[in-house]
Amino acid sequence: MSNVDPQLPSSPAPGPQTVGGFDRAGTLWVLGLFGLGGAVLGVVIPVLARWATELPWLPFQGPLELVGSFDQAWLVWGRPAIGVLAGLALATWVLLQSPVLTIGPEEIQVRRRGEVERVIARDKVDSVHLAGSKVVIETASGRKLFEDEVEGSKAATRDAFLAHGYPWEGPRD
Protein backbone atom coordinates (compact mmCIF):
# COMPACT_ATOMS: atom_id res chain seq x y z
CA MET A 1 0.00 0.00 0.00
CA SER A 2 1.26 3.46 -0.93
CA ASN A 3 1.88 6.26 1.54
CA VAL A 4 0.88 8.91 -1.01
CA ASP A 5 -2.31 10.78 -0.17
CA PRO A 6 -4.54 10.71 -3.28
CA GLN A 7 -5.91 14.17 -2.38
CA LEU A 8 -2.49 15.85 -2.69
CA PRO A 9 -0.96 16.61 -6.07
CA SER A 10 2.20 14.62 -6.69
CA SER A 11 3.75 16.96 -9.26
CA PRO A 12 7.00 18.65 -8.26
CA ALA A 13 7.18 22.41 -7.76
CA PRO A 14 7.48 24.23 -11.08
CA GLY A 15 10.80 25.67 -12.20
CA PRO A 16 11.32 29.38 -12.71
CA GLN A 17 8.85 31.01 -15.10
CA THR A 18 9.52 34.04 -17.26
CA VAL A 19 6.84 36.63 -17.91
CA GLY A 20 6.96 39.97 -19.65
CA GLY A 21 8.91 41.29 -22.57
CA PHE A 22 7.68 41.29 -26.14
CA ASP A 23 7.17 38.18 -28.21
CA ARG A 24 8.18 38.17 -31.89
CA ALA A 25 4.82 39.49 -33.12
CA GLY A 26 4.79 42.22 -30.47
CA THR A 27 8.35 43.24 -31.34
CA LEU A 28 7.49 43.50 -35.03
CA TRP A 29 4.35 45.47 -34.18
CA VAL A 30 6.27 48.00 -32.05
CA LEU A 31 9.03 48.39 -34.66
CA GLY A 32 6.49 48.81 -37.47
CA LEU A 33 4.31 51.24 -35.57
CA PHE A 34 7.18 53.48 -34.45
CA GLY A 35 8.87 53.30 -37.87
CA LEU A 36 5.67 54.26 -39.67
CA GLY A 37 4.97 57.01 -37.14
CA GLY A 38 8.46 58.42 -37.71
CA ALA A 39 7.97 58.40 -41.49
CA VAL A 40 4.64 60.21 -41.18
CA LEU A 41 6.17 62.81 -38.88
CA GLY A 42 9.02 63.28 -41.38
CA VAL A 43 6.46 64.15 -44.05
CA VAL A 44 4.11 66.23 -41.90
CA ILE A 45 6.45 68.29 -39.68
CA PRO A 46 7.54 70.82 -42.37
CA VAL A 47 3.92 71.31 -43.45
CA LEU A 48 2.85 71.89 -39.84
CA ALA A 49 5.82 74.20 -39.26
CA ARG A 50 4.87 76.37 -42.28
CA TRP A 51 1.29 76.52 -41.01
CA ALA A 52 2.46 77.42 -37.49
CA THR A 53 4.53 80.36 -38.79
CA GLU A 54 1.25 81.96 -39.86
CA LEU A 55 0.13 82.12 -36.22
CA PRO A 56 1.63 85.36 -34.88
CA TRP A 57 1.00 84.45 -31.22
CA LEU A 58 3.03 81.21 -31.42
CA PRO A 59 6.56 81.49 -29.98
CA PHE A 60 9.74 80.26 -31.72
CA GLN A 61 8.85 81.69 -35.13
CA GLY A 62 12.50 81.56 -36.30
CA PRO A 63 13.02 77.83 -35.71
CA LEU A 64 9.58 77.09 -37.17
CA GLU A 65 10.44 79.03 -40.34
CA LEU A 66 13.70 77.08 -40.60
CA VAL A 67 11.95 73.70 -40.28
CA GLY A 68 9.25 74.81 -42.73
CA SER A 69 11.89 75.75 -45.30
CA PHE A 70 13.23 72.20 -45.60
CA ASP A 71 11.88 71.64 -49.09
CA GLN A 72 14.92 70.64 -51.12
CA ALA A 73 14.42 67.69 -53.49
CA TRP A 74 16.52 65.25 -51.47
CA LEU A 75 14.50 66.03 -48.32
CA VAL A 76 11.28 64.84 -49.96
CA TRP A 77 12.50 61.28 -49.33
CA GLY A 78 15.14 62.17 -46.73
CA ARG A 79 12.74 63.47 -44.07
CA PRO A 80 10.66 60.26 -44.02
CA ALA A 81 13.84 58.14 -44.02
CA ILE A 82 15.24 60.12 -41.08
CA GLY A 83 11.84 59.77 -39.39
CA VAL A 84 11.90 55.99 -39.86
CA LEU A 85 15.38 55.77 -38.34
CA ALA A 86 14.36 57.95 -35.39
CA GLY A 87 11.18 55.88 -34.93
CA LEU A 88 13.12 52.61 -34.99
CA ALA A 89 15.62 54.01 -32.46
CA LEU A 90 12.77 54.97 -30.13
CA ALA A 91 11.12 51.55 -30.63
CA THR A 92 14.38 49.81 -29.74
CA TRP A 93 14.59 51.85 -26.56
CA VAL A 94 10.99 50.89 -25.66
CA LEU A 95 11.70 47.19 -26.31
CA LEU A 96 14.89 47.21 -24.25
CA GLN A 97 13.27 49.06 -21.31
CA SER A 98 10.39 46.59 -21.02
CA PRO A 99 10.90 44.53 -17.84
CA VAL A 100 11.10 40.74 -17.95
CA LEU A 101 10.40 38.89 -14.68
CA THR A 102 11.84 35.46 -13.93
CA ILE A 103 9.73 34.12 -11.07
CA GLY A 104 11.20 31.29 -9.04
CA PRO A 105 10.42 29.74 -5.66
CA GLU A 106 13.24 31.64 -3.89
CA GLU A 107 13.47 34.92 -5.80
CA ILE A 108 12.19 37.16 -8.57
CA GLN A 109 14.69 38.50 -11.08
CA VAL A 110 13.89 41.71 -12.93
CA ARG A 111 15.71 42.00 -16.26
CA ARG A 112 16.04 44.94 -18.60
CA ARG A 113 18.33 45.13 -21.61
CA GLY A 114 19.06 41.44 -21.07
CA GLU A 115 20.76 42.04 -17.73
CA VAL A 116 19.52 41.36 -14.21
CA GLU A 117 18.59 44.75 -12.81
CA ARG A 118 17.23 43.61 -9.47
CA VAL A 119 16.73 40.42 -7.45
CA ILE A 120 13.81 40.33 -5.01
CA ALA A 121 14.08 37.67 -2.32
CA ARG A 122 10.92 35.61 -1.72
CA ASP A 123 10.92 36.29 2.02
CA LYS A 124 10.61 40.06 1.43
CA VAL A 125 7.48 39.75 -0.72
CA ASP A 126 4.24 40.26 1.21
CA SER A 127 1.88 40.99 -1.67
CA VAL A 128 1.71 41.00 -5.44
CA HIS A 129 -1.12 42.71 -7.27
CA LEU A 130 -2.11 44.72 -10.30
CA ALA A 131 -2.53 48.49 -10.07
CA GLY A 132 -4.09 49.37 -13.39
CA SER A 133 -1.75 47.80 -15.92
CA LYS A 134 1.24 47.69 -13.55
CA VAL A 135 2.46 44.72 -11.53
CA VAL A 136 3.22 45.82 -7.97
CA ILE A 137 5.33 43.78 -5.52
CA GLU A 138 5.28 45.08 -1.93
CA THR A 139 6.77 44.29 1.46
CA ALA A 140 4.71 43.91 4.64
CA SER A 141 5.37 47.57 5.48
CA GLY A 142 4.02 48.68 2.08
CA ARG A 143 7.38 49.43 0.47
CA LYS A 144 7.19 48.85 -3.27
CA LEU A 145 9.92 46.52 -4.44
CA PHE A 146 8.72 46.62 -8.05
CA GLU A 147 6.09 48.65 -9.88
CA ASP A 148 6.02 48.64 -13.65
CA GLU A 149 4.05 47.49 -16.66
CA VAL A 150 4.85 43.92 -17.64
CA GLU A 151 4.03 43.06 -21.24
CA GLY A 152 1.98 39.99 -21.99
CA SER A 153 -1.04 38.30 -20.51
CA LYS A 154 -1.99 39.48 -17.03
CA ALA A 155 -3.48 36.02 -16.38
CA ALA A 156 -0.14 34.36 -17.25
CA THR A 157 1.65 36.77 -14.92
CA ARG A 158 -0.80 36.03 -12.10
CA ASP A 159 -0.53 32.27 -12.72
CA ALA A 160 3.29 32.39 -12.59
CA PHE A 161 3.22 34.10 -9.19
CA LEU A 162 0.55 31.73 -7.85
CA ALA A 163 2.43 28.65 -9.12
CA HIS A 164 5.34 29.61 -6.87
CA GLY A 165 3.18 30.45 -3.86
CA TYR A 166 3.50 34.22 -3.93
CA PRO A 167 0.63 36.05 -2.19
CA TRP A 168 -1.47 37.34 -5.09
CA GLU A 169 -4.05 39.96 -4.19
CA GLY A 170 -6.95 40.39 -6.54
CA PRO A 171 -9.09 38.20 -8.75
CA ARG A 172 -7.79 34.72 -9.45
CA ASP A 173 -10.02 33.98 -12.40
Q: Is residue 58 part of a domain?
A: yes
Distance CA 124, CA 115 (A): 22
Assign residue 44 a region (left: φ > 0; alpha: ψ between -120 and 50; beta: otherwise): alpha
Better-predicted residue by pLDDT, 160 or 72: 160
* Residue 172, pLDDT above cutoff 90: no
Check whether residue 107 and residue 148 sit in a common domain: yes
Q: Report residue 6's pLDDT band, with 50, 70 and 90 as the boundaries.
A: very low
Q: Report residue 10's pLDDT band, with 50, 70 and 90 as the boundaries.
A: very low
For residue 68, the one-letter residue type is G
User: For the segment 76-135, what is each residue's pLDDT rounded down to a tens digit?
Assistant: 788 899 999 999 999 999 999 999 999 999 999 999 988 999 999 999 999 999 998 899
Q: Is residue 15 part of a domain?
A: no
CA distances in angstroms from 91 to 19, 70, 78, listed in the order given: 20, 26, 20
Q: Is residue 8 part of a domain?
A: no
What's the CATH number where 125 sits?
2.30.29
Domain boundary among 73, 97, 121: 97
